[in-house]
Amino acid sequence: MPPRPIWQGHLKLSLVTCPVALYTATNASGNVRFNLINPKTSNRIRMQTIDPDTGPVERSALVKGYEVSKGEYVLLSEDEIRAVKLESTKTIDIERFVPAADIDRLYWDDPYFLTPEGKLGEEAFAVIREAMRRSGQIALGRIVMSTRERMLALEPRDRGIVAYTLRAEDEVRRPDDLFAGIGKARPDPEMIQIAARIIEQKKGPFDPGLFVDRYEEALKGLIADKLKGRKVRAVAPPDDTNVVDLMAALRASLDGKPARRPAARSAAAKPRTRKTGRSAA
């Protein structure tokens, strides 16, 4: 069964338009999802919509409200919300073209596939796609998804277009707010050189097939064991990986051998302990 589009409308480049459909490019259908269960009855718990004054209320009777002050709301019906029309609710209007390198990776969000909708739109879609390909630029447009207007980055791929939603400026935190507190001391050049050699050893092509969600697989294994009545084994905690001698750890990593932990120092040689309980480095 072919996937259903999450959005249908038009792609517009100046005066050229064509009908298009947008599809999610990722698949989460195989993820392990849990429900809340009452262990005494094995019944699934159902969430109710409850008014604190009158009790349970049917969802169909509810409307959306925006809180303007504590406990005071502006009520909006679905018809009133639909009445607020933006061109981007039904049209992706390409506003500008920018180099891909100009878009910080922090702004890239979810990927989607954009395809022509029906045979009549294929020619105009192909013209826009190939013009974009020749330009070597990323096209920027807007789209309304889930009651939010989002910026879209469009790039040609094969016979279609990949569309990425972009985060707004106020959604991205400034890294300086967190990075400014990191010390400015320069690391040992020899250590950097050894670390660079370790990186060289671990170079290889990107293969998404190598990246499996091991926690997800472990959950599936746990569920399978429970179904078969097997006893669940607790996973051993990871080894203490606190690096005491960084240079020794780097050299051991380069050789592919586990670093030896230094012998315990005498009480007189132990560093003084700070109030936080952590040993001085």
- In angstroms, the CA 226 to CA 50 distance is 36
Burial of 248 (0-12, 13-18, 19+ CB in 10 A): middle
Residue 272: predicted pLDDT: 42
In tens digits, what is the pLDDT along the chain, a chain of 281 residues?
Answer: 678 999 999 999 988 899 999 999 998 777 888 899 999 999 999 888 999 899 999 988 899 999 999 989 999 888 888 777 777 788 999 999 999 999 999 999 999 999 999 888 899 999 999 999 999 999 999 998 877 889 999 999 999 999 999 999 999 999 988 898 888 888 889 988 988 888 888 888 888 888 777 778 888 888 888 888 888 777 777 666 665 677 888 788 877 765 554 444 433 444 444 444 443 33
Instruction: Look up residue 64 and give its two tokens.
Output: 């959306």
Residue 245: predicted pLDDT: 79
- In angstroms, the CA 138 to CA 104 distance is 13
Computed on alpha carbons and rounded to an integer, the radius of gyration of the chain in Å comes to 28
- Quick check: 150 and 95 in contact, CB under 8 A? no
Distances (CA, A) of 267 to 203, 270, 273, 274, 275: 43, 5, 12, 16, 18
- In angstroms, the CA 163 to CA 160 distance is 10
The answer to pTM > 0.85 is no
Q: Which domains does the chain have, with CATH numbers?
A: 7-28+84-166 (2.40.290.10), 188-198+245-261 (no CATH)
Residue 277: predicted pLDDT: 40
Residue 173: predicted pLDDT: 92
Residue 203: predicted pLDDT: 87
- Quick check: 7 and 143 in contact, CB under 8 A? yes
